[in-house]
A and B are shown apart, each in its own frame.
Chain A
Amino acid sequence: MIEAFFFYVFAAMTVLAGAGVVLARNTMYSVMWLIFCFFNAAALFFMLDAEFLGIILILVYVGAVMVLFMFVVMMLEVNKARLREGFLQYLPTGGMIALMLLIELIGASSSGVFDNEKVAAVGHLGAEVNNTVEIGKVLYTQYLLSFEIAAVILLIALVGAIVLTLRSRDDVKYQNISKQVNVRKEDRMKTVKVKS
């Protein structure tokens, strides 16, 4: 009973935070609502005994991705976005995505995976199983290929981001730090003996 209570609390707060992201007029508040949303989603993972996923969600999304989001928003001058600007323009695309998601959700929940008996059978197996180890085992054996492909895609994205922003200009004077750091006393200093 207490578990169901907490589930509904966190689920309701997730939905509330999601609505807050869209409805907040201040972009900074939007970002904060999104952070709050991630926290609640992590709490839902924790309730499923999937503490690894929950912590990774906080570590990656809240700890890194959202920091960069906030960074960008801080730098922007627009703090207050006008509500419902271009509402009709984006309605068809957004509405289609929402509709597709709704159909998928209905399909998933009626497929029988979430039947009461099956959920009860799984129960709290996670409490005894170290799910970090389990995820690692599955990821590096059964799904090794897709895992590696994902890694390669990320690497390409990384290299691509660097290549896009990399430019060397010769007309700018910049400091070569390696050179500066590697300076030794002997290069700069000369000891002169003065007759006293």
Chain B
Amino acid sequence: MDWVNILLTTIVWIVEILLIAVPVALSVAYITYAERRVIGLIQARKGCNRVGPHGLLQPLADGLKLFLKESIIPTRANKFLFVAAPVVALTPALIAFSVVPFGEMSHSILQIHDGVRTWFADLDTPQVMAIAHLNVGVLYVMAISSLAIYGILLAGWASNSKYALIGAVRATCQMVSYEISMGFALVCVLMLAGTMDLSGIVHAQEGGFWHWYIIPLFPMFLVYLISGCAETNRTPFDLVEGEAELVAGYFVEYSGMWFATFSLAEYAALILISLMTSILFLGGWYAPFPFLDFIPGTIWLLAKTAFFVFVFIWFRATFPRYRYDQMMRLGWKVFLPWTLAWIAVVGIFIYTPGLQDIIGFYQPWR
């Protein structure tokens, strides 16, 4: 084994991980800023505009404030789990990004080929810009984002507080319920794309917006977006945090950096849901019109993601909070039958002669 190669590969991996983790953390900071400004705009007020030009340094000031605050462990709390919970919440939120394809590149900066290192080599086939190119990328994202629940559950239980516990219980019910309709919405996408590989799903939507899965699967797109909102505990569904009845839900007892870690995880999940929606339904890194392809794919993907982040902020400013039983009804009695019916519809569509040609338009692999 060539130790130089191993060392170089390790360095490349670390750089790749940092290239994803650092922008995620930064964009989380600035999404909090954007959220306050956008909600301010919608509610006809200014939002934060005092720290720095246009308030642009506000996230840094917030970060500094949280960093300097005292971290308190409540009495009779389970100390180990109380400290572990923020970490457990943040880890899945970050590692889910490892399979997200951010675009394709036709040349790599460092290529290791038969022990010979060539710098900035042109590749024969375009490489997917993801840390791990997994065959089951969709399932991986589903599995890892469903782990985020443990952070919330542990935080609620370990805090030794009834508000935190009720918040955690609510979060669990909510996430388990909406995961199901989310999964079924994904099944429709998989049926059309014929692959679980995220970059394969994007490839299946190549060539203009009329190839995107938002058109044949529009109801599923809505289900996915709304379930994503519920999964990330965003406002119409933020009963987990419900200030009015639960103070702040599962993280009442957390202060300082631990609290910030929870926020980081929550906003990272928000970015992930936006990314996944753009990849699964809006053609990922492809431009809406083929002649716009001169703009790099990564910019298209990030623009679509930014749009969905904006939509989630918009939701927050527009909709009042759901009542808990109404929310559970929406998940189980509306979305679940709806998605199941749509799976049947898509399946029958694919295998009916005659209709086959219409749906075949969205199945380039056939």
State the A residues within 8 Å of B (CB): 28, 35, 51-52, 55-56, 58-59, 62-64, 67-68, 70-71, 74, 130-132, 175, 177, 180-181
Q: In the bound complex, what is the Cα–Cα distance between A35 and B88 (angstroms)?
A: 13
B299 at the A interface (CB under 8 A): no
Contact A63 B147 (CB under 8 A): yes
Which positions 156-176 of chain B face chain A at CB distance < 8 Å? 156-157, 165, 168-169, 172, 176
Q: Which of these binds chain A: B18-26, B56-64, B137-145, B234-242?
A: B137-145
**What are the residues of chain A within 8 A of B196 when measuring CB–CB?**
132
Q: In the bound complex, what is the Cα–Cα distance between A59 and B157 (angstroms)?
A: 22
Q: In the bound complex, what is the Cα–Cα distance between A35 and B143 (angstroms)?
A: 13
**What are the residues of chain A within 8 A of B146 when measuring CB–CB?**
59, 62-64, 67
Contact B169 A55 (CB under 8 A): no
Q: In the bound complex, what is the Cα–Cα distance between A29 and B142 (angstroms)?
A: 25
Nearest CB in chain B to that of A73: its residue: B157
Number of A-B contacts (CB under 8 A): 63
**Known pairs A63-B149, A181-B326 / 11 extra A-B pairs, C-beta < 8 Å:** A58-B144, A59-B142, A62-B147, A63-B143, A67-B150, A67-B153, A74-B153, A74-B168, A130-B135, A132-B135, A177-B329
Contact A28 B81 (CB under 8 A): yes
Main secondary structure of the interface of B (DSSP, over half): helix
Question: Given the interface contacts A63-B179, A71-B169, A181-B326, does A51 sit within 8 Å of B81 by beta carbon?
Answer: no
Contact B172 A67 (CB under 8 A): yes
Contact of B149 among A28, A52, A67, A177 (CB under 8 A): A67
Nearest CB in chain A to that of B153: its residue: A70
Contact with A along B123-135 (1 / 0, CB 8 A): 0000000000011
**What are the residues of chain B within 8 A of A132 when measuring CB–CB?**
135-136, 196
Q: In the bound complex, what is the Cα–Cα distance between A59 and B134 (angstroms)?
A: 15
Interface centre among A56, A64, A131, A180 (most CB of B within 10 A): A64
**What are the residues of chain A within 8 A of B135 when measuring CB–CB?**
51-52, 130-132
B325 at the A interface (CB under 8 A): yes
30 A–B contacts, CB within 8 A, in A order: A28-B81, A51-B134, A51-B135, A52-B135, A52-B136, A55-B140, A58-B143, A58-B144, A59-B139, A59-B142, A59-B143, A62-B146, A62-B147, A64-B146, A67-B149, A67-B172, A68-B176, A71-B153, A71-B169, A71-B172, A74-B153, A74-B157, A74-B165, A74-B168, A74-B169, A132-B135, A177-B325, A177-B329, A180-B326, A181-B326
**What are the residues of chain B within 8 A of A64 when measuring CB–CB?**
146, 176, 179
Query: Nearest-CB distance from B214 to chain A (Å)?
Result: 25
Q: In the bound complex, what is the Cα–Cα distance between A67 and B172 (angstroms)?
A: 8
**What are the residues of chain A within 8 A of B78 when measuring CB–CB?**
28
Nearest CB in chain B to that of A129: its residue: B135
Query: Nearest-CB distance from B320 to chain A (Å)?
Result: 14
